[in-house]
Structures are given as structure tokens and as C-alpha cells.
Structure 1
Amino acid sequence: MSKQKKRSKAFLHYLRGAHQSLFKTPSTMKSFILAAFIGSLIHLVPLLLLSNSIAPALALPALVQSDTATRPACDYNERGPLIHLRREAAVKDFTRLYLIERNPKKAFDKWIPGSSSLTFTVTSRIHSRYTQQNPNVPPENQGRDAAIKYITELQSTPGMTYWNISTFAGNGDQGAFGLFHFRRLVPGTETDFAIMDLLRFTGTCFTDHWDAKNQIFGNETNPLAYF
């Protein structure tokens, strides 16, 4: 007999025994036992379902998210006493997707969902709910779509590597921010940089971006330079 059949048989035996015992019990105790019996069913039935072949059909579609359609993991309106933990998790996951998995589209879809239909204006500073503060980005290249395109092309550079990665999230005078600091190297070239990206939170989503970078020459006066 399979384990699943044994488990189902034991469960039915439990139900039968409990039913018989209930009618042999004085009426003053029946209400209490019935309540306890119903409470036990609440815990046992889900366990039985999860142990049988029906579980994948019922449970997994609600729990597993397809990689082909990444849903936003952030909330522009999120508040609460534990929001700092969510923000720390957000910047770590965004950095992992961006630098380790090298999937900027997925990183943006989760943490900078925005909307591609909005138009940028200098006064409102709105474009896909993501504003670039990088001085080299022209107004027509504002927004998440332009950023995804640029990062995707940059990461196609042969041999580009990232390491010395660290992240941080906290509050400042102008809001809450996430930061990640890392080293980027393209072997055989002079493009070896220490880079810091700063992202402003709205809720648990990112809405503004700044960056700063220093080229690493290898002969810096300070042996502790950058990292």
C-alpha cells in the first residue's frame, strides 16, 4: 500500500472513531468535543491535500510565479513600521537582478514598474515614475525604458565583470534611499570603475536615480581607495 493511501486510510479511521466517540459522550461535553474536532479538521485537511497528487493542481499555480511575466514586487503606497526591512530587501534584490543575473528588465519590472505611457516634463519630473539625475542623460532618454535599453546594451560588453558589491537602505533629509556600490571591470581596457548608484524610494518602489563613479588606475595614493 502506498504512503498516500495509508495516510488517507488513517485519516478516515480517525473520522470514524471520532464520530462514534461523540455519541457515547455525555451531552455536556459534546459541544466542547465538537468544537475541538472541527478545529482539528482545519489543520488536518490541508495536510492531507498537500500530500496527495491533487496538491500541485490546487496549490502550485497560486504560489509559483512565471519568469516570463514578472510582476511588480513593490508598492508605491506602502507604509508601516517594517517598511525599512522591505526597503533593504528591495535594494538587495534589485542589485542581484541587475549585477548578478544581469537581467535589468526583470529588475525594473519588479522594483521600478512605472508606466511607459507617461511623458517627461522638467517641472513635473514624471516619466514612467522613474527620473534620471545622471548629468549625461538628455531629456528624451528619461524614464525606465531608456534605462533598460542602455543597461542591456552596456552589459553585452564582452568580459565585463562586477564584484565588491555592497548594498544599503536608509532614510535621509529628502526621503528614503537605497544604495549599491560595486566595482566594474572590462578586461583589457581602461574601463575599471568604482561605481555607486543611489535610488530614491516611494513606498518600496524606486523613482529617482543618481550615480557617481571613479576610474580605478591601480596606483592610487591611498591603498584603501574605493573599497
Structure 2
Amino acid sequence: MTETPAAGLLAPHAPAPGDAYVGDPAVRAEWDRRYADRQQLWSGRPNGALVAEVAGLTPGRALDVGCGEGADAVWLARGGWDVTALEVSGVALERAAGHARDAGAAVRWVHAGLAEAALPPGSFDLVSAQYPALLRTPDAAAERALLAAVAPGGVLLLVHHAGMENQPAREGDVDPADYVWPSMVAELLDGAWDVELDEQRPRIAPDGGAGAHHTADVVLRARRLS
């Protein structure tokens, strides 16, 4: 069977041209602005929860959702994973591709929103979403796209900042009610899934980078049975 390629799919190491993007242009513009405002937005090191939870897994096909500047994707690739990394910001993907080149790591880059990416269903042994900014929709499109990407026997690892979903919107800041949180994904898990972990715990935070002030994580790890 021939798989349909993901929308916005780029060759390993390729930078992300603006016209390859598939998704909401306003979302891309917002995240491009955030990345362009700083020479480096994140720490440049892989997220601690990812490192801890992937330690016992056999490398296979991995999807990094919201890959940012590429630290997680590069770390996975250097650990033997066949990595596809998805991101809405072309600015971030340019940086991520550069980091991958410097590290000698092969990564497939997808310049798209998760719901719009048309990823082949059931294709990834690991779907990692570390603090993703996934917009909430009435049809739960992002949540369902996360679940659909996981292959039978594969693992969904979703990590987010604890307590954020219940915070009120602050003037000039994002409204937590607009975004997908782990509890919303957990609600969709049925008998086809084994929830291996669903807990709050202290964050293993890389030094520096945006978000370093968050000290606790919610970690959801679920294995697809069928």
C-alpha cells in the first residue's frame, strides 16, 4: 500500500519555505512573530519528561508535534528514531533544520498545523507533544489527530504545564480556554488504549528558554492496543 505523503512535508535537513505551509495563516504569523522576536526562544536541550519517558522504548518511527527549534527532534534522531517533526512556524523550522544539520541528524520536517497535516494514520510508534499550543475546536480535531497518528502498539506522550487549563485569561496573553490540555485528550481514550501514566509531577526543566518558570508537569502516556 502506498502511503499518502503529509501535507507540507520537506526533505531531511531542508529549511521550510513559506509557501509549503498548510494550516491557518494567522497561527503561522503569530508563531513566526514570537520566534522572530528572539534569537533563540527555547533552551536548545530536549525536554526532561521526554528523555525520562522514552528511555525504555525501542526506537521506531516518531512524530514530534510542535517541534519548535528542534531540540527534541534532534535528540530523538540521534537516539536512533526515524523522526518526523511538525511545526507551524517557518522561522522555527529554519532554526530546527540548521540544528539538525549541525548535529548530523536526519529529520523530516512538516510545515503545517497538526489537524491540517494529513499525516498517514497509525504511522508512528511514538507521538510526542511537549507543551503543544494546539487550538481547541468543537470537533476536537487536534485531539483526534494526535490519537490517529499513533500506530498499534505505539505510545502517545503528551506533556503540559500543570494548572494552566484552569487559569483565567490575562490581558494581552493567551486564553487557556482556547487550547487543548491533556485532560481533554484523556477523555477520548477508550478500550483501544492502555493509560500507562497520567499524573502531575515536578518538571525536569532545561536551563533557560521560555517557560522555564513552570515547575510542574502533567504527563499523559498511553499505549494504543489496536
Interval containing the TM-score (normalised by the shorter chain)? under 0.3
Q: Which structure's CA Rg is the greater one?
A: 1
Q: Compute the TM-score of the two structures, normalised by the length of structure 2.
A: 0.23
Higher relative contact order (CA 8 A, sep 6+): 2
Q: Whose strand proportion is higher, 1 or 2?
A: 2
Q: Compute the TM-score of the two structures, normalised by the length of structure 1.
A: 0.23
